[in-house]
Structure formats: structure tokens, C-alpha cells
Amino acid sequence: MSDHTVDYLVELQGVDFAHAHGAHPVYRDLNMQVPRGKITAVLGPSGVGKTTLLRLIGGQLKPQQGQITFAGHNIPSLSRSALYQLRTRMSMLFQSGALFSDMSVFDNIAFPLREHSRLSEEIIETVVLMKLEAVGLRGARHLMPSELSGGMARRAALARSIALDPELIMYDEPFAGQDPISMGVIIKLIKSLNESLGLTSIIVTHDVQEVMTIADYVFIMANKTVVGSGTPAELLASSDPLVHQFLHGEADGPVRFHYPAADLSNELLGIQPTGTEAKHV
Amino acid sequence: MFDRIAALGKTVLDTVAGAGAALIMLVRALIGRPNLRKSWPLLMQQMYSLGVLSLLIIIISGLFIGMVLGLQGYTILVDFGAEQSLGQMVALSLLRELGPVVTALLFAGRAGSALTAEIGLMKATEQLSSLEMMAVDPLRRVVSPRFWAGFYSMPILATIFSAVGIYGGYLVGVQWLGVDDGAFWSVMQSSVEWQEDILNGLIKSIVFAFVVTWIALYKGYNCTPTSVGISRATTSTVVTASLAVLGLDFVLTALMFG
Amino acid sequence: MESRNTHLAVGMFVILGIVAMLFLGLRAANTSAVTTGETYKIFAKFDNIGGLKERSPVKVGGVVVGRVSAISLDGAYYEPLVEMTISKRYSEFSDTSSVSILTSGLLGEQYIGLNPGFIDDTVEMLGDGDFIYDTKSALVLEDLIGQFLFGQGND
């Protein structure tokens, strides 16, 4: 598991994060390494803050403590302009796609090129058509985002996020709300893009079965930190109860089915809870 | 008792923090070298949606307000035999007060709410985040052109409002109620001053443009990205901007004419 | 094509704004451009200026030739001193001219009426900074009534 020859593109060390000072912490002492050129999956139940992880790597949020390095740069300590410079080397596929609703599909994909390159319009058109071809939407270039289905919108957004040939793509819940066919298409696309473009991919998801088929390495998050990591095969063989519960989708286990509450029979009978809750009344 | 004082303190702190955040947003959006090749089309697009599309409501409201002023003014002035001063009354009311103020209120309702909702929705659909991740500053790309468009559009709209309003007063006063045509204009001309009235009105509408656009953008940029959050932010834009306009109008009037 | 139409609409919008501004400036506001362009200043002392204000017009036979630019108290006896800014277009007033403070209509604003004096070889023309000594003060209604009552009593 710990191979010293592996080249890590993104590393997190001892990251503590809460959305505000004194607020409920999201992470405590989080450590994670993302190998270059591989597909790394981050799994975890809903609400564990997986999207927050991507925003931390993208520098949109700052941790209270710890280091987040991307290609040797410590992201939280970068200046605003250096951060913007670095962001041209990474990209993120948002859950909603986040296509600009006032531009056509073509203009959406041309947008990062027009912003960050001085290419002529003809070259931009060629590049955009190539990217659209890669996701199979070359025929849909004149449509507006509102005319696309959810799966098509996500593919168009994927084409946009690879427009500048980044080194890292972060996928935020790429499979959420997709029908089986478009889910299959996206899995295939992630895999083939990673191989053909030499990308590093981080996939954040809770769709275990789908991602296990393509991931090279998997982290499982719960309780504000990483509770298990390894290749898919290693994890499936794991005997850790939390990992087991999550990978097999069991309803109850170390992660409770119930939100913390007073005892049901007491509540139904109208008995006032004693102890900690009583103080709030 | 202490709870109340603490609540008051929290409100004050929140207000100050909000004002500070709004100021930081504006400074970040406006400072930096502009890239004309990219920002010119964006500015044009926003001038269109904020200025041109507000034109109809401004013209119609201006016409009606001018007509009402003509009618009301006539019924009051005719008692003193001073109906020839109608032009003066209509022109001064419009240039000094109604033009800038009503335009700002209409602008807050028509364009300000749209700005807040648009930016709030861009936030909710992660378009702003996605801009950031594409290494494009949303403050420069989204907020800045909208701010300048609002800042330029509103004084133009206020000028058009006043001009149309005076014409509305002319229609009712002269064409309908029979005030003497020459007297209407000459009394107006002898009482309206470039600096005192037209310029001060223009300054007012420039101040209002700044404040209303700023509030609308800040509320949108800072809203909770949910449907409830956006609807609250939109309402809050209209309420806050309207109150700010009316309060500032008093201050400016006191400074200019007091 | 779409952006061309946008540009066109915005251009029309701006032009409309300029037209409205011109309308306000030329049709609604005072356009006798006496206070712009070249001017010169003359002074006059009055006993009482009544309701005269800064920017009140200075008229010759009803035609505006300038404006009151400053009002102050002057000299050991604190006489009201009025500074008038007159357009260079009307620079041929002799120093025998007189000024009086008049009222337009019964309730109207007060203005300065300038009566040009006679011109012959012995008189000089008024230049920048000159004084007009022949002045008639404003009519104050209370004084008038007092005079009237006093005159009645004398009969």
C-alpha cells in the first residue's frame, strides 16, 4: 500500500477544517495522497463533506490547520493571483454541471480557452469540436444548456473541464441522478479520458459499485477523517466493520440509521427526557 | 436584559461585518486593470439588460407622473390665479426629486431584483464556483460589468424620466387644461437652473445608481444558495435599496438645497 | 449578429439619454447663457436690498444681461454691497447708469434693473470692478405702509 516510488500530485496532511471558527468541525487530522495519473475515488456517506474536500483542494476554502499541496505548491498559503494561476492546471466537474446558462454548449466549452489562451477563433473552434467529439456531443454544439438532458449537460461540462488540458480533474458526484445508460457513458468517459490524456482524477461519490470498477485507489471517509484506504480489491476484502458496512450498503452498523434522538418509547409516552436534553427546555 | 444587549451587539456587529464584506466585494470587483477586449462586450450586454430593458417602464411611469403633476398642480395653482407657474412646478419637482428618486425605486424593483436573482441563481447552480475553478474571478467577470452597467444606466434613465415627465405635464397643462403655451415654458425656463436643478438631480441619480446596484449585487453574491435564500435576497434587495434611496435623498436634499 | 443588435440598442439608449439631457438643458432650463462665456464684474451699494439673492437676474428693460454673483456688507457703516456679473456682450454701459431693485409682479422674485445712462465725451464706460453710485433700494412693504399712514396723518 505504501509505495515510495509513487508520485503524488495532491497531498493533504493533518487538515483540520470547520466552516466557521467554533462551528462543528468537518475534518479532523485528515491525511490523503492522490497518485499522479491514476483514478482515485473518495467514498463516504452523504453529509461527510466530500464536496468540501474538493473545494479545499481547489483553494475555494481554507483549512484552519494542515497542508494541502498540489504539484508541490501549498494551496492555503498561496496568494490570490498565484492560486488563480495554479487553478488553470486543475478543473472540477460540478454536480450540477454548472454550465453557463446564457451561452450555447459551444461557447461554454470555448469559454476557458477564450479566457486563458490567445488562440485564434479557428483554432478554438477546432479544439472545441475535438473536445465535444470526445464526449459525443459534437452535434449538440448549438443547443443551449436548458435544452440538454441531465446526462448530456454533465458530458458537456466534462468537455469544458478538459478544454484546457488540465493535470487534475475533480469529479463531484458524477453519477448522482443519472440513468443507467448515461451512468455507463460517464464511467467509460472518465476511464478513457484518464488513460488517453494522462490525467489525474479524483472522484467523490457515494455510488460504490460504479466507482469500484474504475478506481485505482479508494479512500473511505467517515467521522471527519479517512477510515479506510487501499485498492478496491483490498477494501472489499477488509474486515473493518465501517468499511464493510459502507461497501455493502448495510442499513445499520457503526454508522447509525437513526439521527441521534431520545428513546422512542419515552418520546411516544410523553415522558420528558432527563439529563442533557432537559437543560434546553 | 443582558440577552437583549447581547442581541443588539450581535446585530450591530453583523451589520458592520456585512457592510465591510460588501465594501470588500466592490473593491475587489472594481480594482485591477480592465481588459477592454473582454469587458466591453460584457458591459454592452449588461447595459442592454439593465438599461434598455428598463426603458419602457421608465418612459411610461415618467409620462404618467408628469401628467399627474400637471393635473394636481393645476387644480392647486388655479386657486391663486397662478396656473402659469405650472411649468415651474412640474419641472422643479421632476428634476430635483421625482426624476432621480422614482427612477431609483423603479430601477431597484425592475433591474435590482433581477440582478440579485440572477447572481443568486448563478451561485446556487455553482456557476460562480465553476468560474473560480476555471481561474476566472467571478467578481471581475460577473459583478464588475453589472455594476458599471447599472452605474451608467440609471442617470440616463433618470434624465429620460424627467424629460418625459415634463412633456407629460405639458400635455395635461397646456394641451388639455389650456395653460398658455408660452407662459408654461418661459416660467419654467426662468426658474430652472442648470447647476441648481439639473446638475444636482443628476448627482442624486448617480449616487442612487451606485447604491442600488451595489446593494443588488452584494445581496445576490452573498445570498444563501437555495430557493428560499434567493427569494429572501431578492426581497431584501428591493426593500434595502428603496430605503437607502429615500434616506439618502433626504441627506442629499439637505446638503444641496438646505 | 446578436451582439450587433445589442450594441445598436445600447447606442440608441445612450443617444436617447443625450437627447433628454439636451431637452432639459435647452427647453426647460434658462438658456440665455449670460453666466457662461466672458463676463465682467460691477459693484453697487444699496441702503436695503430687500429680498435680492445671489443669482438673481440683472435686467436691462426686461432683458437679462447678468446675475448677482455676491452680496456682502461693506464699509464702516455696513452698507449692503452687491456684486454683479455682466456678460461681455453688454459692455457699453456708461458710468452714469443707475441700478434699482425691482420686483417682478406683485409676489414675484426681486431683480436688479439697470438703466443705461447717457453717453457723451465726458463720461466713461463701466469696466471690470467699477462701482455704480446711482442706486435705488428695494421697496419694503412695511416702509411703504408706514409712509402711507404718515402721509395720511399729515393731511
**What is the band of B47 on the pLDDT scale with cuts at 50, 70, 90?**
very high
Report chain A residues whose CB lies below 8 A from the CB of B117.
none
Of B51, B185, B193, which has the smallest distance from its Cβ to C10's Cβ?
A: B51
Mean pLDDT, chain B, rounded, equals 90
Supply the pLDDT for residue C26.
Answer: 83
SS3 state at C70: strand
C27 vs A108, higher pLDDT: A108
Confidence (pLDDT) at B215: 94
Domain coordinates in residue numbering, chain C:
1-31, 34-147
Q: What is the pLDDT of residues C89-143, one digit of tens each?
A: 888 888 888 898 888 766 667 888 888 888 877 778 888 888 888 888 877 777 7
Q: Nearest by CB to B156, which of C14, C27, C30? A: C14
Nearest CA in chain A to B137: A84
- C31/B189 Cβ within 8 A: yes
ipTM of the complex: 0.83
Which partners does chain B have (≥3 C-beta pairs < 8 Å)?
Answer: A, C
Are B134 and A55 inside 8 Å of each other by CB? Answer: no
Are A60 and B129 within 8 A, CB to CB?
yes
Calculate mean pLDDT across residues B215-222: 93
pLDDT at A168 over 80: yes
Q: pLDDT band for B140, please (50, 70, 90 cuts).
A: confident
pLDDT at A133: 86
CA angle, residues C97, C100, C102, in degrees to nearest 5: 140
Which range is most confident: A240-249, B32-41, C73-82?
A: C73-82
User: What pLDDT is attached to residue A280?
Assistant: 46
Q: Answer whether B48 touches C (CB < 8 Å).
A: yes
Binned at pLDDT 50, 70 and 90, residue A210 comes out as confident
Q: Length of chain C, please?
A: 155
Task: Average the pLDDT over A251-271 and give the result.
Answer: 71
The Cβ of residue A259 has, within 10 Å, a number of other Cβ atoms equal to: 5
Sheet-wide strand order for C39-45? C130-132, C39-45, C79-87, C63-74, C57-60, C110-115, C98-103, C134-136
CB of B159 within 8 Å of a chain C CB? The answer is yes
Residue contact C29–B197, C-beta within 8 A: yes
Would you state the pLDDT for residue C4?
Answer: 83
Rounded to two decimals, the pTM is 0.77
Indicate whether B108 pLDDT > 90: yes
Task: Answer whether residue A277 shows pLDDT above 50.
Answer: no
* Mean pLDDT of the region C35-40: 72
The pLDDT of residue A258 is above 70 = no
Chain A residue closest to B45 (CA)? A102
Residues of B in contact with C3 (CB under 8 A): 41, 44-45
The answer to whether the CB atoms of B44 and C6 lie below 8 A apart is yes
Q: Per-residue confidence at C34, pLDDT binned at 50, 70, 90?
A: very low
Rg (CA), chain C: 23
